[in-house]
Each structure stands twice: as structure tokens, then as C-alpha cells.
Amino acid sequence: MEENLSLPSQGLGNKNIANISWWRTKFGEEEIQKIKESFFNENISMGSVTEEFEKKIAESLDMPYTLVTTSGSVALLMACIVLGITKEDEVIVPNRTWIATANAPYLLGAKVILVDCEKDRPIIDVDKIEEKITKRTKAIIPVHLNGRNANIKKINEIAKKYGLFVIEDACQAIFSKDQEDFLGTQSDIGCFSLNVTKLISSGGGGILVTKSKKLYEKLKLIRNNGTGNVMIPEYKTLGCNFKFTDIQASMGLVQLSKKQERIFYIKEIYNKYKQAIQSLSSIKLIPVNIENQELPLYVEILCKERQKLIDFLKSKNIHPRISSPNLDCADYLENFNYFPNSNLFAEQGLFLPCGPAQPLENIDYVISVLKEFEQELKKQVNENEKK
């Protein structure tokens, strides 16, 4: 799943002039030095540094086959290509996700079938999947949105029952777990993102993982215009130039080495918000199950007075991010069903400032402003009652 980065946040200093963005990550001297090393060694395009990065990711996720590409969106597209999804097929996708999840099968001509989310989590409702399965259904693409387990074990059971493929969209869930097992590693293919708004980033990029050597070998061809050797090309399958670069891999290697401290930090941010929001009646935290090893990449809330909250935060130089619209808003997908649960998250959802380099003092300030907003709402209610 892909998102744009907001303006960079600074330390608070003078709170009157600080701008706190919804996301904050960091690239430093180590990344610069690793990039310089690649330049000096003439490792520019996809080569040995990329291979090293792929090997490190495979070890980190305990997967035998790993391949990097240009983005999480392209990873999803490649997964659909390698599984043979065509215009004859239907693919089941959650209504609450970034549009790239649906675009991947749609670009291959498949019909996208949307499923509503759960009541309390913006995750596909597994109880609504089977009713959407037809003779044309070929795959399910569950999305582990914001590190939340999309009931992958139940989805795998449904897929096995009907002979379907499963592609895990884990673009927001790298290193998030279903208790002991990594999300994104429990299906035919898992896809991750290395975009700038992810736990680790190479500025842009995506990852595919699989336990199938056959799929892996074909994915390598698809990434390289359908050929295994550009010097002696044989056009074996449909493909494109979806290659990564050693420059990106250089950044990724450094970021990957910091994953544990980043995991610890985003948990600390989430817990700070969780403790504070419990005492607020106007805001509800959308839960992430840290106890089951889910990782809260972002901090998401629901607020009935969302626009008032956005305006209030901005007046205090805090810049939240509004939740993405539901996929049924994309007319070209031609889905005309009603999605009541999805609508709640689309209408009330908001991302609060977070990220692996968001200063904790920023979080403390945001929390103080949320409490101030609560008091302002109560004051308005009291004034209206007096009238």
C-alpha cells in the first residue's frame, strides 16, 4: 500500500512555530555512507547489493525465496501475473485498503469483488468472503492493514476449500506477526512495501516472498521483461522492467539493520496514545493487537467530529492525515453494494502523528492538544444546552 509523505516534523522547540507532520522517518549518515560505497564500487543498477538485501530480508522473515521490485504496488501486480490472473477471473479484495490492492488484478482485466470490513477493525470480514465466491473466483487478497492480522489462517482454510490462491498484501505489516508467524509469509505469495511511510524504507520499493521455487523462478523472469539473461535473451513469459537498484538496496540494508529499535519505538508511540485516549470520549483508538505481536505502524483513530478535530489540530500546527476512501468510491471497479462498516472508517478515520523518527515530545504535545479538544467540545455542548 502506497502513501505520500507529509511535511517533515521538527522537534517542538517553540510550539507556536513547530509543524508536526503525520509521519516522521529518518535517513542518516549510515545510509549516505552505504550509498557512497555502492557508487565507488560501481554498484548502481540491480546487482550484488540487491542480492545481499534480498538475502537479509529472507533471513529476517524466515522465507526461502525473496525478491525485491520497484514498489509494493508492482509487487502485487507481479503476484497477480505469476498466478495467471486474467480477464476471465474474479479476485476478492477488502473494501478498506489502499487502491493498489485492487488495481493489481484490475490492470490484468480481472473483476474486483469487494468485501466489507469488520465492525471494530478495518480488516476484511472473513464471514462475508464465501458468499462472494463464484466459479470465476481465482484469488483472495487479504490486507494486513496497519499490521493487523486479517485472519489469515481462516482465509487460507477458505482458499483451500475452494481451490483459490491467496496473495497477502502485507505492505503495511512487515515484521508484524500472527502470534509466532510473520504476516505476509503464510500464503502463496506475500507482498511488502519499502515506501517512505513504512517501518523500513529504501525511498521506494517492494518485496515479494514465497515458499514456492517455481513461483520464485517465474517472478525473476517477470521482473526482467520475461527473460532470464538480457545478454542472451529468451522471451519466456510476460514481464516488464520491474528491477530494483543497488542504490536503493544500500539504503534498505542500513534500514533493515535498525528494525528492532524501530519496532520498539513505534510500539512506544502507540502505547502513549492508547493510554491517553482511554480517558477521552470524543476519540476512539482503532486497536492493534500488540499482545499477539501485531505492529502498529500507524496510529489510527475514529472521531465523529473529525473535521472539527482536524481544524483544531491544524490550528495548533499539527497535521494529521485523513483515512483513505473506500474502494467502492472508485467508479471503474463497478461495485454497487453497500458497505456500512467500511463507511464508518472512511468517514471518521484519522491518522495521528507517528513514525519511527517522530519525537516523543511531539507525541506528548499532540496528546495535550487532543485533551484540549475534548474540553472544547464539552464546553460547546454545555453552551448549547444553556440555549
C-alpha cell at 260: 528492532
**Rounded to an integer, what distance in angstroms lies between the CA atom of residue 55 and that of residue 53?**
5
**Rounded to an integer, what distance in angstroms lies between the CA atom of residue 136 and that of residue 220?**
28
Task: Give SS3 for 347.
Answer: helix
Residue range 29-115+122-257 forms a domain whose CATH class is: alpha beta
Q: How confident is the model at residue 180, as a pLDDT? A: 87
Domain(s) of CATH 3.90.1150.10: residues in the chain: 259-386
C-alpha cell at 37: 560505497
C-alpha cell at 274: 492508547
Helix H or strand E segment including 182:
strand 181-182
**Rounded to an integer, what distance in angstroms lies between the CA atom of residue 222 and that of residue 241?**
8
Please name which of 63, 151, 139 lies closest in space to residue 101, comparing C-alpha atoms: 139
Q: How confident is the model at residue 95, as a pLDDT? A: 98
Domain(s) of CATH 3.40.640.10: residues in the chain: 29-115+122-257
358-382 pLDDT, tens per residue? 999 999 999 999 999 999 998 887 7
Please name which of 280, 291, 300 lies closest in space to residue 368, comparing C-alpha atoms: 280
Positive/negative CA dihedral, 194, 242, 61, 286: positive
* Fold for the domain defined by 259-386: Aspartate Aminotransferase, domain 1 (3.90.1150)
**Rounded to an integer, what distance in angstroms lies between the CA atom of residue 223 and that of residue 244?**
9
**Rounded to an integer, what distance in angstroms lies between the CA atom of residue 297 and that of residue 168?**
17
**Rounded to an integer, what distance in angstroms lies between the CA atom of residue 324 and that of residue 156?**
27
Please name which of 335, 378, 387, 373 lies closest in space to residue 114, comparing C-alpha atoms: 335
Give the list of residues 6+ apart from residue 4 with CB closer than 8 angstroms, or none.
197
Backbone angles phi, psi at 238, to 5 degrees: -65, 135
- Residues found in the chain: 387
List beta partners, residue 112. Answer: 91
Question: Which residue type does 35 have?
Answer: I
Output the pTM of the full model: 0.93
Q: How confident is the model at residue 17, as a pLDDT? A: 44
The answer to whether 191 and 170 are in contact (CB under 8 A) is yes
Q: What is the DSSP string of 251-285?
A: HHHHHHHTHHHHHHHHHHHHHHHHHHHTT-SS-EE
The answer to whether 266 and 296 are in contact (CB under 8 A) is yes
**Rounded to an integer, what distance in angstroms lies between the CA atom of residue 309 and that of residue 110?**
40
**Rounded to an integer, what distance in angstroms lies between the CA atom of residue 86 and that of residue 80?**
9
Helix H or strand E segment including 247:
helix 246-257
What counts of helices (H) and strands (E) characterise the chain?
Answer: 11, 13
C-alpha distances in Å from residue 107, one per residue of 34, 78, 318: 36, 11, 37
The parts of the chain modelled with pLDDT lower than 70 are: 1-18, 383, 385-387
179: number of Cβ within 10 Å: 10
